[in-house]
Amino acid sequence: MTIKISSTTLAGTVHNAVEEYLELVGDQPVTNLYDLVLTEMEAPLLECVLRFTGYNQSQTAKILGMNRGTLRKKLVRYRLM
C-alpha cells in the first residue's frame, strides 16, 4: 500500500526519512525502529523549540505540552542545557 504524503509536512518529512533509512539498511535486520525514530526526533525537536522561544524553558514546555520538570530532564539527557 502506497500512502501519498506531502514532503512539506512533518509527517511527510518523517515518512521520507524512514523510507530512506530502510533503503540504506537494505537486507540488514531492523529492530526497535519505533524507539529509534522517537529518540532521533526528540533532541532536534527540543532544540528547535528552545531556539524559537529564546531558550525560555517555560514557553518551550508549554508549546511541547509537557511540564517544565519533564522538559529539564530531557534537556539534561540530550545535553541541551
* CATH (domain of 52): 1.10.10.60
The dihedrals phi and psi of 45, each to the nearest 5 degrees, come to -60, -50
**Which pTM value belongs to this model?**
0.76
Q: What does the alpha-carbon distance between residue 8 and residue 5 come to, in Å, rounded to a whole number? A: 9
Residue 3 within any structural domain of the chain: no
Residue 54 within any structural domain of the chain: yes
Burial-class residue 38 by CB neighbours within 10 Å (0-12, 13-18, 19+): exposed
Residue 8 within any structural domain of the chain: no
Output the tens digit of pLDDT for each of the chain's 81 residues: 565 556 678 888 889 999 999 999 999 999 999 999 999 999 999 999 999 999 999 999 999 999 999 999 999 999 998
Residue 65 within any structural domain of the chain: yes
Residue 67 within any structural domain of the chain: yes
